[in-house]
Amino acid sequence: MVGKLFHYTCQFAQDSVFLCYSGPTSHDVLVSTGNSLKHFLEENKVDPKRFYCIFSVYVELFENIIRYGVDCFGIDFRVNQSRNPYGIITVSVKNDQFTIKSGNIVTIEQSKKLRHSIERIKAMDPRMIRDYYRQKRKQESNEDSKGAGLGLIEIIRKTSQPIAFSFDYIDDYFLFFSLTAVI
């Protein structure tokens, strides 16, 4: 295991990953790792225009894990009831481009909805996305929904490249969902 940790660390260094969290997620973890991210951005004098774009994508991705992730390290699988869903999130920087990757476990059922929403937003141009955001916000503010839809649009509004995503097979019930956002 110790040898493997060295291997992981080397791998992260190679990929220019300066922040990685893997484990049970919660709002507390979001706040503390989010603060580390902010410090890094401040110390590296990141353009103020991009500072909150990067932070915002980090928050939305992390919140999505907290809201929709599944705790697969527990004895039983408790969808959406799990207090601390498992998630992994990394932030890297290369040639002044920040890449945030997030991964978490979802049910097959969730993956269908998720794929549909992401593909729908990915097909839109910036103006359509902006209008869709406003429409969705009006809708959801009346419904008091958990609002992953809005979070995803928020992420897309702040990225400089189309987001990439994938679902990896775990077993007949669960998939590993990963998303990559570049700012």
Query: Between residues 17 and 150, which has the closer beta carbon with respect to other proteins?
Result: 150
Query: Between residues 46 and 106, which has the closer beta carbon with respect to other proteins?
Result: 46
Q: Which residues bind other proteins (CB under 8 A)?
A: 27, 31, 35, 48-49, 52-53, 55-56, 59-60, 63, 130, 133-134, 137-138, 140-141, 144, 147, 150-151, 153-154, 157-158
Cα–Cα distance, 101 to 65 (Å, whole number)? 12
Q: Find the shortest distance in angstroms from Cβ 56 to other proteins.
A: 7
Q: Find the shortest distance in angstroms from Cβ 108 to other proteins.
A: 26
Query: Between residues 11 and 160, which has the closer beta carbon with respect to other proteins?
Result: 160
- Asked whether the beta carbons of 59 and 47 are under 8 A apart, the reply is no
Q: Find the shortest distance in angstroms from Cβ 159 to other proteins.
A: 12
- Asked whether the beta carbons of 121 and 115 are under 8 A apart, the reply is no
Q: Find the shortest distance in angstroms from Cβ 110 to other proteins.
A: 18
Cβ contacts of 68 within 8 Å, gap of 6 or more: 80, 85, 104, 106, 110, 146, 148
Query: Between residues 35 and 161, which has the closer beta carbon with respect to other proteins?
Result: 35
DSSP codes of every residue in 59-94: HHHHHHHHHH-B--SSSS--BTT-SS-EEEEEEEEE
* Beta-strand relationship, 97-107 and 86-94: antiparallel
